[in-house]
Amino acid sequence: MGNPTVKTWTATIAFSLAGTISALFYSTVSPFLLPHFIIYAVLVVNTYFSIRFWSALQPQDSRQLLIDAVLVAAYLTLAFSMGEPTYFPLALAALFVLATFKYVLMRGRILYEAVVERKIRIDALGALACAVLIVGAFLGYAFEAAWLFALGFALANVYLLFIRPMYRL
């Protein structure tokens, strides 16, 4: 799947279908389902822009292919944990940690180091936000933390995709 456009649309459609199928047929019906679905939907939009931007830049070697495969598995785990107050934040945190690691692997291997470093900082901040989400859940505020994360994540993505785009050279 060397064509960036094909890769972008294939991933976006696959992740969208996984989220929709999960939400409609597999997810636990709970008060957490809506904020989790919002988080997941925003993540799919972000992923569209991310794959569109990075697929032409990232090295095409076994390390990147392996981390991409692990990220796909983590993404699908996230999709099928929607509605679960404990599993969803853990899966989301794992996804952000893996994404951070993906870009750490790119250091020194592409021409646009400043963009790689910015992406690492953004994904690491996402992982930190997930840690706060998990702590909130363990302190008994899982529902409030889920909604706060959903709103904050949506606003952050509006800023990072449209106001100060992170996916541009």
DSSP per-residue string spanning 100-133: HHHHHTTTTTSS-HHHHHHHHHHHHHHHHHHHHH
**pLDDT (tens digit per residue) in 102-151:** 999 999 888 889 999 999 999 999 999 999 999 999 999 999 999 999 99
Q: How confident is the model at residue 40 (pLDDT cuts 50, 70, 90)?
A: very high
Which amino acid appears at position 14 of this protein? A
Q: How confident is the model at residue 56 (pLDDT cuts 50, 70, 90)?
A: confident
Cβ burial 115-135 (10 Å sphere, 16+ → b, else e): bbeebbebbbebbebbeebbe
Q: What pTM did the predictor assign?
A: 0.94
pLDDT of residue 1: 56
**pLDDT (tens digit per residue) in 68-104:** 999 999 999 999 999 999 999 999 999 999 999 999 9
Q: How confident is the model at residue 28 (pLDDT cuts 50, 70, 90)?
A: confident
**Mean pLDDT estimate for the chain:** 94
Spatial distance between the Cα atoms of 168 and 126, rounded to a whole number of angstroms: 19
How big is the chain by its Cα radius of gyration, in Å?
16
